[in-house]
A and B are shown apart, each in its own frame.
Chain A
Amino acid sequence: MTLATAKRPAGAAATPTAAAPQRRWRRHRPRTFYSFAAPWLIGFALLTLFPLAYAFWLSFTNYDGLAPKWGYVGVQNYERALADPKTWSSLARTLVFVFLLVPATVGFGLFLAVLVNQRLPGRGAFRAIFFLPVVVPVVAAGFVFRMLFDRDTGATAAVLGWFGLGPVEWLADDKALIVMLLMILWRVGSSMVISLAALQGVPQELLDAAAVDGAGSWRTFFRVTVPIMSPVLFFQVVNGAIDTLQIYLPALLLSAAGQARLDTVPGEGLYIYMVHVYTQAFAKGDLGYASALLWLLTAITLIYTALVFRFSRRFVYYEAGPSDEEGRR
C-alpha cells in the first residue's frame, strides 16, 4: 500500500480536495507503521525470539550435535548446572569482574570526560586519543595485552626488570582477571564520550548559581553536576553490568593469542561464566547443557533488567526524544 502510494508523483494527487489525502493517510497509518517496522520485527522474531525459544527447548534435551538419537531429558541439564561447582565458581568470578569493571569504567570515563571538557587548546586531540582504543579491533587488542603481560617478554616484564623485580606470571591464575580488566578498561573511551555529552548538557545557569552561592568547584561538581548527570551514569552502570556478564572473547584471546579457537578452553583465572558456557558447547559438544547454562544467564539478566526498569521509571531512556503523545500528533 505504502509503496503503491509512493509511486504516484507528488502534486499529481487524483483526489478532488486537499483534505482527502490527509484522511486517507490517517486511515492507512497503522499499516504504514508496520510495513516500515516489518524488517526489524521479522528479524527480531526470527533472529532473536526464535533462537531464544530454540535454546530453551534444547536446554531440556541431551542434544550434542552429533548423535542421531537425542531427546527430552526434563530438567536434568538445569539440575546438573546447579550442581556443577564450575557454574558457581565461574559465576562468582564473573560477578567479581562486574563489580570491579563497571564502577572502574564509569568512574574513569567520567574523570576523563571532565578532563577533556576543560577549555584547553588541543583537547580535541586528547579526546581522540582516549577514544582511539574503542576502534581497535578486539582481536588486535587481545593480542597486544597478551604480549604486554607476557611473563618473560612483555613490556611489564621489562618495566619490572628496571626496578630489579622478577617476572610475574600474569596470565596463569586470578591475576589474569586484572589483565582482562585493563584490556577492557582501555576501551573506556565510549563511556567518556557518553559522560561528556551529559556533562555538556548541564545548564550553565545552575553552575553559575552554585558559584554565586559560594560553592567551590569540587562542591559544585559533586552537588550539582553529578546529580544532574545521574540518569546517564545510572544507565551506564545498568548496561555495563549486562555487557560485562556476557564477556567471552577477551578471555579467549588472552589465553590463546594468535591461535584462538572456539573450542579453546582458557585457564582457571579467565574461566568466567560465558567461557563455561562455550566450553560445554564447543569443546565438549554438550549443546543441551550449554543451552541450559545460557538460559540461566538470560534469566538472571531478564530479572535484573526488570528490577532496574521498575526502580528507575523516572530515569533516562526517553529523556532525549519527544514524548510518545507528541509523536502520535
Chain B
Amino acid sequence: MTGTVRMLLRRGGLYMLLVALAALFLLPLLWLLLIALKGPGELLRFPPKVLPDRARWENFGEALTYVDFLGYARNSVILAVTYGLLVTFSSALVGFALARLPAPGKRVVFGILISTLMIPPIITLIPTYLIYSRLGLLNTYWPWVLSGLAGSSFLAFLFRQFFAGLPKELEDAAIVDGCGYFRVFWQIFLPVSKPVLATSFVLSFVWTWGDWVMPALLLNDDRSTLAVAVGSLYASDHTGPQYHLIAAAAVMYSMPVLVLFIALQRLFIRGIATTGLR
C-alpha cells in the first residue's frame, strides 16, 4: 500500500516537473506569438502587458506585404530543396563507399571526413566569399548547388553508419550476377534506405531554411531568403524595426519547419542521435 502511494507521489512529482519544464520551453514561442498579435504602440508600453488589447491578426497580412514575403519564401524553398536533394545524393554516395567499398587510403579518407566534422563552415566563410566573388557567382544560387554537390560530412557519416549495418547478403547476389556497384547502390541500397534519405533531406532542408549567414553574405537583399528578410528587412530608417511585423513574419517563417518536425519527428531524432549533430 505505502509502496503504491510512494509510486504515485513520485509519478505526480515527475509530471509536475515535466509540465513546468515544458511550459518553460514553450514560453519563448508563446511570447513570439503574443508580440505578433500586438500593435506597435502596445509594444512600447511600460510596464509591459502580457496579453494584447485585442488580437491583431491583420499583422500577419501586413507582414506578407511589408516585404515580398512570398517571393523570399519561394527563394528559400528553391535553395533548400536544391541543396537538400544534391547533398543527400552526394553524401549517400560517399557514405556507401565508406561502408562497402574497400580501397587503399580509405582510412585516411574516413579520418579526414571525421575531422571535417570539427571544422564548421563559419571558419572558411571569408575566403569562400572571396572565391565566389572572383568566380562571379555572387548573387547567384550556384554556391548552394556546389556545396550540395560536395556533400556533407555529417550526412555522409549518417549514411555510412546506416549502410554498414545492412547485411552483406544484400549485394552479394547482385555482384555474382555481374551487377555494377553503382547499380547495386542505386537499385538495392537506396530503396532500402528511404528513412535515412528522408532524414538527410529533411535535416539539410531545415539547415538551409534556417541559415542566415550564407544568404546575407552571398545574395543581394532582393534575391535573398526568408531568413534574411525576417532577420534584417522589417525595418525602415524612419520607424526602426517593426517588431510586431517581425514577430508575425517570424511565426510564419518558423511554421513550415515546425510542422515538418511534428510530422516527421522520428527522422529528425534519428539523424541527430546518429551524427551527434547539434
The residues of A with any CB-CB pair to B shorter than 8 Å are 2-8, 10-15, 18, 21-22, 25, 29-30, 32-34, 36-37, 39-44, 46-48, 50-52, 54-55, 58, 65, 112, 115-116, 118, 120, 126-145, 147-148, 152-155, 157-158, 161, 167, 186-187, 190-191, 193-194, 196-197, 232, 235-236, 239-240, 242-243, 246, 248-249, 253, 257-262, 274, 281, 287, 290-291, 294, 297-298, 301, 305, 317, 320-322, 324, 327-329
Contacts and interface: CB of A to CB of B under 8 A. Distances in A.
Given A36-B96, A58-B127, A130-B21, A236 B276 contact: yes
A5 B181 contact: yes
A246 B122 contact: yes
A235 B117 CA distance: 12
B217 interface: yes
A50 B132 CA distance: 12
Given A136-B29, A136-B254, A260-B212, A5 B161 contact: no
A211 to B, nearest CB: 15
Contact of B231 (A14, A130, A196, A253): A253
A75 B128 CA distance: 22
Contact of A120 (B11, B117, B230): B11
17 contacts: A5-B181, A11-B177, A14-B178, A21-B175, A21-B178, A39-B151, A51-B127, A128-B265, A131-B269, A132-B258, A139-B212, A140-B254, A143-B231, A246-B120, A253-B231, A298-B119, A321-B99
A135 B258 contact: yes
A147 B247 contact: yes
A271 to B, nearest CB: 17
A39 B278 contact: no
B26 to A, nearest CB: 6
Contacts of B116: 44, 48
Interface string B237-278: 000111100110011011001101110010011001110111
B113 A40 contact: yes
A25 B184 CA distance: 12
Interface string B83-121: 000000011011011111111101101101111111110
A301 B116 CA distance: 12
A40 B46 contact: no
B127 A291 contact: yes
Contacts of B175: 21-22, 25
B179 interface: yes
**Interface secondary structure of B, over-half rule:** helix
Interface residues of B, number: 118
Contact of A29 (B102, B161, B232): B102
B90 A43 contact: yes
B216 interface: yes
A190 B253 contact: no
Given A37-B109, A115-B14, 5 more contacts: A6-B179, A34-B103, A43-B147, A51-B124, A243-B278
Given A155-B27, A261-B216, A190 B277 contact: yes
**Interface secondary structure of A, over-half rule:** helix
A196 B273 CA distance: 8
A97 B122 CA distance: 18
Given A40-B90, A47-B147, A132-B25, A139 B250 contact: yes
Given A40-B93, A115-B18, A186-B28, A30 B104 contact: yes
Contacts of A152: 46-48
Contact of A157 (B26, B48, B234, B276): B48
A298 B31 CA distance: 38
Contacts, number: 346
Nearest to B155: A40
A131 B246 contact: no
Interface string B151-184: 1010010001100110010000011111111110
B37 interface: no
B5 to A, nearest CB: 18
7 smallest CB-CB distances across A and B, nearest first, come from A43-B150, A13-B178, A5-B180, A258-B241, A33-B103, A6-B180, A36-B97
B130 A129 contact: no
B22 interface: yes
A15 B35 CA distance: 72
Interface in B1-59: 11, 14-15, 17-18, 21-22, 25-29, 31-32, 35, 43-50
A187 to B, nearest CB: 7
A150 to B, nearest CB: 8
A196 B258 CA distance: 21
Q: Max chain B CB contacts within 10 Å: which of A34, A36, A139, A260? A: A139
B196 interface: no
Contact of B14 (A120, A260, A320): A120
A321 B164 contact: yes
